[in-house]
């Protein structure tokens, strides 16, 4: 099922798919058994050192995950709260920022060559992605992938249960699955482009790069000849990284803003947990983490801090203007010196305030995640979409309906937190309004696809089966 588009770094957009619903799958209970072992250690106040050093449980985790999902996950329990590093994140990935790419150079396995995307005909290992069964194979199952789960914090601070931690783990595995899918698409796209380039028979070899530049430039006027530096007409090099980014960025969202697409990578990972039957536990766990008192306090505190900093800056500028005007009798040069000295003093605050404002504006804020309530709504939409499967059995249908009911309760007590500066920007900034309206329009389309008619129909079918 097509879920949505995903915008990566540099405005690139790539369509991804959600896996099929895994009916009555034993993966969840098997994973819960392993998670339960770690949770018991936490409840017995076992130190982080000994939890991380439990080779038996960590090996069991790897065997259970690898056997069912094909993800060769090795567990790290004493670092990040919950995270993973999919194989898509390598120095040459179009999804990696420049900072991340620099940090990853030489540290992780990569399908790419040094600085160039490529398709090597000899000895090139291929991975497989099975959406029907939610499983990877081939090269993807050979590569170890770190999965960070800090059991002590999840249990002691956030009070997550074993099923909820299992759902969080499935979310992280969803990142690994979709990362492999992205690598597959890149490789497939490169092969198609390689074939296309090799068929430009009417263009002399020495003019092919210029020809491709002209074609790209028709789609995107910001492309330069330097962006096409890696393009050749045969393997092993197919397309330079910058040219590939330029190509993908030419794929536009149907909406007039693609900001909502950025959140899809997280939504697909939520979907991975939902489709293994852990939608309710994921919603419950996220509810505890997203609506914790500390997080709510932190959000309010930093919103006030940002507003205070911007207010002080505006106040200082007004005082500066007033002082400069009163110094007119002392001469223009004295006033100019005062203004320059003040500007030099206030430049760090100006930069900080601009960053504060941009962090809350709809058109410039970090769009990695949906706002809290929107995220739960997407989980609910995915649960509804799973009801459309004509092969769904009565047991699964009832289970999904119960999960939808629980998710509705979570949604009812959730909010989309916006800071004071963000709210102000929505009132005065046309670009923020445009992005906000585009996001809302796309969310409405997703809700239309996951219409409650399917819920009502499933309830009737469930009642008829009794």
Mean pLDDT of 223-240: 52
Q: How far apart are alpha carbons 249 and 265 in whole angstroms?
A: 16
| Residue 365 binned pLDDT confidence (cut-offs 50, 70, 90) | confident
Q: What is the pLDDT of residues 309-355, one digit of tens each?
A: 777 777 777 877 776 666 665 666 766 777 777 777 777 777 777 77
pLDDT, the chain, mean: 77
Burial 66-103 (b: 16+ CB within 10 A, else e): bebbbbbbebbbeebebebbbbbbbbbbbbbeeeebee
Say what the pLDDT of residue 15 is: 40
Q: What is the pLDDT of residue 39?
A: 97
The residue with greater pLDDT, 370 or 121, is 370
In sequence order, the 6+-apart residues with CB closer than 8 A to the CB of 377 are 411, 443, 447
User: Any idea which of 88-102, 175-189, 210-224 has the lowest mean pLDDT?
Assistant: 88-102
pLDDT of 8 strictly over 60? no
404-441 confidence digits (pLDDT tens):
999 999 999 998 888 777 888 888 888 888 888 888 88
pLDDT of residue 118: 34
| Token digits of residue 126 | 């291929």
Q: Residue 336's pLDDT is what?
A: 72
Mean pLDDT of 187-209: 60
Do 199 and 230 meet the contact criterion of CB atoms below 8 Å apart? Answer: no
Mean pLDDT (whole number) for 185-214: 62
Mean pLDDT of 121-136: 74
Query: Given pLDDT bands bounded at 50, 70 and 90, which one contains residue 4?
Result: very low
Highest mean pLDDT pick, 104-113, 246-255, 299-308: 299-308
Q: What is the DSSP letter of 18?
A: P
Domain ranges for the chain:
2-189, 194-249, 295-360
Q: What value does the mean pLDDT take over residues 169-195? A: 77
Q: Which tokens belong to 350?
A: 């100006």
Tell which wins on pLDDT, 12 or 200.
200
Given this model, what pLDDT does residue 228 score?
Answer: 64
pLDDT value of residue 265: 80
Q: Is 81:60 a contact under the CB 8 Å cutoff?
A: no
Confidence check: pLDDT of 304 > 50:
yes
Burial group, residue 292, by CB count within 10 angstroms (0-12, 13-18, 19+):
middle
Categorize the per-residue pLDDT at 53 as very low, low, confident or very high, splitting at 50, 70 and 90: very high
CA-CA distance, 364 to 376, in Å (whole number)? 23
Residue 139 CA, chain-centre distance (Å), reads 23
Q: Which of 37-46, 235-244, 309-318 has the lowest mean pLDDT?
A: 235-244
Say if residue 281's pLDDT is above 90: yes
Q: Classify strands 135-138 and 127-130 as parallel, antiparallel or unpaired.
A: antiparallel
The tokens describing 416, both together, are 């989309």
Q: How confident is the model at residue 123 (pLDDT cuts 50, 70, 90)?
A: very low
Q: pLDDT tens across 64-112, in order?
A: 999 999 999 999 999 889 998 886 655 445 455 555 555 555 444 343 3
Please state, in angstroms and rounded to a whole number, the distance separating the CA atoms of residues 158 and 290.
10
Q: What percent of the chain has pLDDT over 90?
A: 30
Most confident of the following: 188-192, 201-205, 453-457: 453-457
User: What does the H/E/C string look like for 255-277?
Assistant: CCCCHHHHHHHHHHHHHHHHHHH
Q: 277: which DSSP letter?
A: I
Whether 273 shows a pLDDT value over 50: the answer reads yes
DSSP class of residue 227? G
Count of other CB atoms within 10 angstroms of residue 354? 12
């Amino acid at each position: 099922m097509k879920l949505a588009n995903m915008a990566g770094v540099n405005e690139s957009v790539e369509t991804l798919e959600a896996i099929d619903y895994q009916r009555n799958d034993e993966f969840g209970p098997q994973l819960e058994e392993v998670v339960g072992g770690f949770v018991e250690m936490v409840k017995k106040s076992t130190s982080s050192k000994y939890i991380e050093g439990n080779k038996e449980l960590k090996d069991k985790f790897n065997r259970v995950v690898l056997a069912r999902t094909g993800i060769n996950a090795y567990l790290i329990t004493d670092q990040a709260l919950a995270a993973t590093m999919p194989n898509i994140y390598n120095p040459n990935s179009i999804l990696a920022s420049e900072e991340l790419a620099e940090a990853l150079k030489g540290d992780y396995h990569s399908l790419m060559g040094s600085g160039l995307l490529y398709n090597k005909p000899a000895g090139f290992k291929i991975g497989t992605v099975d959406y029907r069964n939610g499983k990877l194979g081939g090269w993807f199952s050979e590569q170890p992938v770190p999965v960070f789960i800090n059991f002590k914090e999840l249990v002691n601070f956030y009070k997550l249960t074993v099923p909820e931690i299992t759902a969080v783990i499935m979310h992280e595995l969803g990142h690994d699955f979709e990362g492999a899918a992205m690598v597959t698409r890149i490789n497939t796209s490169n092969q198609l482009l390689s074939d296309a380039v090799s068929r430009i028979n009417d263009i002399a070899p020495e003019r092919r790069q210029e020809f491709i530049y002209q074609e790209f430039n028709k789609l995107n006027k910001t492309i330069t000849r330097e962006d096409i530096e890696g393009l050749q007409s045969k393997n092993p090099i197919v397309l330079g990284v910058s040219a590939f980014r330029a190509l993908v960025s030419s794929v536009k969202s149907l909406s007039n803003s693609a900001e909502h697409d950025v959140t899809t990578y997280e939504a697909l990972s939520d979907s991975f947990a939902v489709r293994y039957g852990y939608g309710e536990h994921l919603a419950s766990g996220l509810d505890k983490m997203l609506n914790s008192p500390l997080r709510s306090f932190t959000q309010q505190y930093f919103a006030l801090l940002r507003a205070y900093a911007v207010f002080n800056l505006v106040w200082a500028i007004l005082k500066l203007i007033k002082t400069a005007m009163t110094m007119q009798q002392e001469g223009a040069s004295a006033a100019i010196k005062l203004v320059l000295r003040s500007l030099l003093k206030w430049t760090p605050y100006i930069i900080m305030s601009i960053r504060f404002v941009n962090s809350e504006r709809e058109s410039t804020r970090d769009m990695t995640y949906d706002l809290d309530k929107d995220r739960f709504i997407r989980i609910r939409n995915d649960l509804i979409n799973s009801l459309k499967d004509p092969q769904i059995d009565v047991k699964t249908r009832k289970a999904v309906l119960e999960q939808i009911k629980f998710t509705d309760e979570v949604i009812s007590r959730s909010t989309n937190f916006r800071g004071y500066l963000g709210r102000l920007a929505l009132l005065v900034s046309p670009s923020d309004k445009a992005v906000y309206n585009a996001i809302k329009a796309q969310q409405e389309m997703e809700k239309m696809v996951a219409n409650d008619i399917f819920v009502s129909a499933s309830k009737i079918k469930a009642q008829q089966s009794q």
